[in-house]
């Protein structure tokens, strides 16, 4: 610090800086020498011996560091980390500017500006590309769209509890005929095996029952799965949109209602054990409706397009590092 202020004073003298700035620098030097003579270490410790702006900046940086270290999503997302880097860069630049102004004596002593150090309230999920054989320890629970994924998505080794017309209201009680487990209920499947990933693709058939009722049924289903499969990551899949033609002509099965339901479902995700995945951008047109070219009936995908949905799921596997699982 002594060299810093000496350099600034020498630079001021050599460059002919204004007498006010040189006088302030000389005063700071005198204070530093006096403190040094008394044997008190104000420069290296705490907030003592610092200007009000330096003190605020030091405290803000300390709080920000704690917030970043304790944030649920800290360092877990490329996007999140990008936003974090931008915020950190802005803090460093702001801190540098304040320090320079304070040392030059140009900042007003009554400046009450502070740095926002509140941690981000939303956990941020980080997704990774799934390794080979990833779906062999997965279970899919869903309706006709999920059944299409089973038939045409090219997913190998997974277990399926799917049926055309299946709803979240009956998912925990209904008996279904499965490929290799016979006629079983969902609780029986969950009790019989151990899964790393469980995908839930339900909701489109329930639209007429109201968002609150559907969301409540989803919450109950998630709780049941968590109890029986405490080591599994649960993925809530957004309901795919319908085409503009159907959306504008159907009072129930339209994209406004689908979006309301998807929003409610997304709020059930904590991005630690329960994730929300939205594949709609893969199939939507510029207006946010399912593109007509992807659907044969304004609601379901052509068989050839399910592979894109599978690839989306494969490249959006939750990174378990640092998670509570």
The 10s digit of each residue's pLDDT in 260-280 is: 999 999 999 999 999 999 999
Q: How far is CA 190 from the centre of its chain?
A: 28
Q: Is 235 helix (H, G, I), strand (E, B) or coil?
A: strand
Instruction: Write down the domain spans for the chain.
Output: 2-104, 127-318
Lowest mean pLDDT among 44-53, 190-199, 207-216, 258-267: 44-53
- Tell if the pTM clears 0.85, that is, is over it: no
Q: What pLDDT shows up at residue 78?
A: 34
Task: Please give the average per-residue pLDDT across 119-134, as a whole number.
Answer: 73
Sort 152 into a burial class: Cβ within 10 Å, 0-12 / 13-18 / 19+: middle
Q: Assign 236 a pLDDT band (cuts: 50, 70, 90).
A: very high
Pairing relationship of beta strands 317-318 and 233-237 according to DSSP bridges: unpaired
The pLDDT score that the predictor gives to residue 55 is 43
Long-range contacts of 103-109, Cβ-Cβ distance < 8 Å, separation of 24 or more: 103/5, 103/8, 103/25, 103/28, 104/21, 104/24, 105/20, 105/21, 105/24, 106/21, 107/53, 109/52
Q: What is the mean pLDDT of the chain?
A: 76
* Fold (topology level) of 127-318: Rossmann fold (3.40.50)
Inform me whether the pLDDT recorded for 162 exceeds 60.
yes
Q: So what's the pLDDT on residue 27? A: 60
Residue 242: other Cβ atoms inside 10 A: 24
Tokens 């594949």 belong to residue: 279
> Which residue has better confidence, 250 or 101?
250
Please give the pLDDT value at position 227: 97
């Amino acid at each position: 610090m002594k060299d810093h202020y000496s350099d600034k004073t020498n630079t001021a003298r050599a460059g002919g800086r204004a007498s006010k700035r040189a006088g302030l620098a000389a005063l700071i030097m005198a204070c530093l020498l006096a403190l040094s003579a008394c044997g008190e270490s104000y420069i290296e410790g705490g907030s003592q011996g610092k200007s009000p702006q330096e003190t605020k900046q030091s405290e803000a940086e300390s709080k920000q560091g704690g917030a970043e270290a304790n944030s649920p999503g800290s360092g877990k997302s490329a996007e999140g980390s990008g936003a974090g880097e931008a915020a950190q860069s802005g803090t460093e630049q702001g801190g540098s500017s304040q320090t320079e102004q304070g040392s030059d004596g140009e900042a007003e002593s009554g400046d009450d500006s502070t740095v926002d150090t509140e941690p981000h309230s939303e956990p941020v999920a980080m997704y990774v590309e799934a390794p080979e054989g990833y779906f062999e320890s997965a279970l899919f629970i869903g309706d006709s769209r999920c059944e299409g994924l089973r038939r045409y998505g090219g997913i190998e080794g997974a277990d399926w509890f799917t049926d055309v017309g299946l709803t979240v209201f009956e998912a925990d009680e209904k008996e279904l005929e499965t490929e290799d487990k016979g006629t079983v209920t969902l609780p029986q499947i969950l009790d019989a095996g151990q899964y790393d990933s469980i995908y839930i693709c339900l909701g489109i058939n329930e639209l007429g029952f109201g968002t609150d009722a559907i969301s409540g049924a989803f919450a109950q289903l998630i709780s049941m799965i968590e109890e029986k499969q405490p080591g599994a990551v649960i993925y809530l899949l957004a309901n795919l949109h319908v085409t503009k033609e159907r959306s504008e002509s159907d009072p129930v099965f339209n994209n406004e209602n689908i979006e309301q339901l998807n929003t409610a479902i997304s709020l059930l995700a904590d991005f630690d054990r329960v994730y929300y995945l939205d594949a709609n951008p893969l199939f939507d047109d510029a207006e946010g409706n399912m593109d007509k070219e992807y659907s044969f009936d304004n609601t379901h995908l052509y068989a050839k397009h399910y592979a894109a949905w599978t690839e989306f799921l494969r490249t959006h596997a939750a990174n378990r590092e640092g998670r509570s699982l």
